[in-house]
Structure 1
């Protein structure tokens, strides 16, 4: 299996996950204040939306890479 096929498979999987899940979320911890031995921090959950057109484009590009990688 060459590198082009692997990249194509990764794009297909990422596109399918982006289409099904619609995005992903992560927690970002920021330190707001530090007073002596006391540290105050805030954890914010942020969500990143993946547009449907980007998911479809990733799947199509992945299929194209797998198809061209297998012709060699």
Structure 2
């Protein structure tokens, strides 16, 4: 039942937040005391169907967990 609740929360969060942005800092040049870095931003899309499936599966697990009690 706990897994179902977690899936519901994650599914709703996936539906509300369409993308996750991650900023990476990469070293371009490292020559002794001189260090040049570059910030690179990556965007990871969250498919809407994944959020819907997570909510539906979570609801199913919660219903099954309640009926077994």
TM-score by length of 1: 0.83
Q: CA offsets per residue over residues 16-63 of structure 1, 9 Å max, x none?
A: 111111121111111121011121111111111111111100100111
Question: In the TM superposition, what are the counterparts of 1:8-19 in structure 2 within 5 Å?
Answer: 8-19=4-15
Of 28, 34, 39, which aligns to 1:32?
A: 28
Runs of 4+ in 1 over 2 A off after TM superposition: none
Q: 2 CA distance for matches of 1:45 and 1:13?
A: 26
Q: 1 CA distance for matches of 2:25 and 2:4?
A: 34
Q: What residue in structure 1 maps to residue 55 of structure 2?
A: 59
Q: What residue in structure 1 maps to residue 3 of structure 2?
A: 7
Q: What residue in structure 2 maps to residue 41 of structure 1?
A: 37
Number of equivalenced pairs: 68
RMSD: 1.1
Q: 1 CA distance for matches of 2:50 and 2:32?
A: 47
Q: Where does structure 2 lack aligned partners over 5 or more consecutive residues?
A: none
TM-score by length of 2: 0.86
